């Protein structure tokens, strides 16, 4: 996977789209242009850092509709909207849906680059969070059925003796299983285990 940010520009105005591609390319970004939301959806989205510069109103599906479609698909690509219309309702809708910014055309260079930097920073945070979540799921998946059974009881506050009685095993076996899953999960204390269990719960919601 390339770590170079890729900026997607979706705008039906050929001259503006070309100008944006040239501006961003000259600034060192890798860029791709699309004349419509349909054109954008034709190409598989690469797994790499980036953001989306998206016109609000275009022939066919609008930018707002594309934003909603990406969210339904679980695509967390940060969106910066561009518009030639001062529509407060569209702006509110876009920002509530998580847009990084809503910029009026003609776009000021400083405002554009500021929005892109914020979008890329947002993307980096989201990517780190997803990677950490995947690693946590993988660690938890490595537990044996017995280790999970002990884990489930430890996080509810039960002591080793209680767990041993419930599972019908020796208390020393509980201690061994407990030590093993603590190593696998990368935690060193009950407090850390509690925080990890809460993160797992949120991931499964």
pLDDT for position 163: 92
Residue 177 structure tokens: 């299983």
Q: What pLDDT score was predicted for residue 14?
A: 93
Question: In what order do the strands lie in the sheet containing 101-104?
Answer: 30-34, 6-10, 50-55, 79-83, 101-104
pLDDT confidence of residue 86? 64
Domains 6-130 and 142-204 share a fold: no
CA 124/CA 120 separation, integer angstroms:
6
Domain 142-204 has CATH 1.10.540.10: no
> Looking at the domain 6-130, which fold is it?
Rossmann fold (3.40.50)
pLDDT of residue 190: 85
DSSP conformation class of 53: E
Q: Give per-residue pLDDT as tens, 105-129.
A: 888 999 999 999 999 999 999 989 8
DSSP letters for 106-118: SPPHHHHHHHHHH
DSSP code per residue over 62-109:
-HHHHHHHHHHTT----EEEEESS--HHHHHHHHHTT-SEEEESSPPH
Condensed to tens digits (0 to 9), the pLDDT of residues 42-71 reads: 888 888 999 999 998 888 888 889 999 998
**Omega before 106 cis (within 30°)?**
yes
**Can you tell me the distance from the alpha carbon of 3 to that of 73, in angstroms, rounded to the nearest whole number?**
23
DSSP, collapsed to helix, strand or coil, labels residue 10 as strand
| Cα dist from 46 to 6, 57, 202, whole Å | 9, 25, 27
Write down the domain spans for the chain: 6-130, 142-204
For the entire predicted model, the pTM comes to: 0.77
List of the chain residues with pLDDT < 50:
none
Q: What angle do CA 146, 150, 156 make, to 5 degrees?
A: 150
């Amino acid at each position: 996977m390339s770590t170079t940010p890729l900026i997607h520009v979706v705008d039906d105005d050929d001259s503006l789209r070309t100008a944006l591609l040239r501006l961003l390319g000259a600034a060192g970004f890798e860029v791709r242009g699309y004349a419509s939301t349909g054109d954008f959806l034709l190409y598989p989205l690469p797994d790499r850092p980036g953001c989306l510069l998206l016109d609000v109103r275009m022939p066919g599906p609008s930018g707002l509709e594309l934003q909603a479609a990406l969210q339904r698909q679980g695509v967390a690509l940060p969106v910066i909207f561009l518009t030639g219309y001062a529509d407060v309702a569209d702006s509110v809708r876009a920002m509530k849906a998580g847009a990084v910014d809503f910029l009026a055309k003609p776009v000021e260079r400083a405002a554009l680059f500021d929005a892109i930097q914020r979008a890329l920073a947002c993307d980096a945070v989201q990517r780190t969070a997803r990677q950490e979540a995947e690693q946590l799921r993988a660690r938890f998946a490595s537990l044996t059925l017995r280790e999970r059974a002990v884990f489930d009881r430890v996080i509810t506050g039960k002591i080793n003796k209680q767990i041993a009685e419930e599972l019908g095993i020796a208390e020393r076996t509980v201690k061994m299983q407990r030590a093993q899953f603590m190593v696998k999960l990368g935690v060193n204390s009950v407090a850390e285990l509690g925080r990890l269990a809460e993160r797992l719960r949120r991931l499964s919601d």
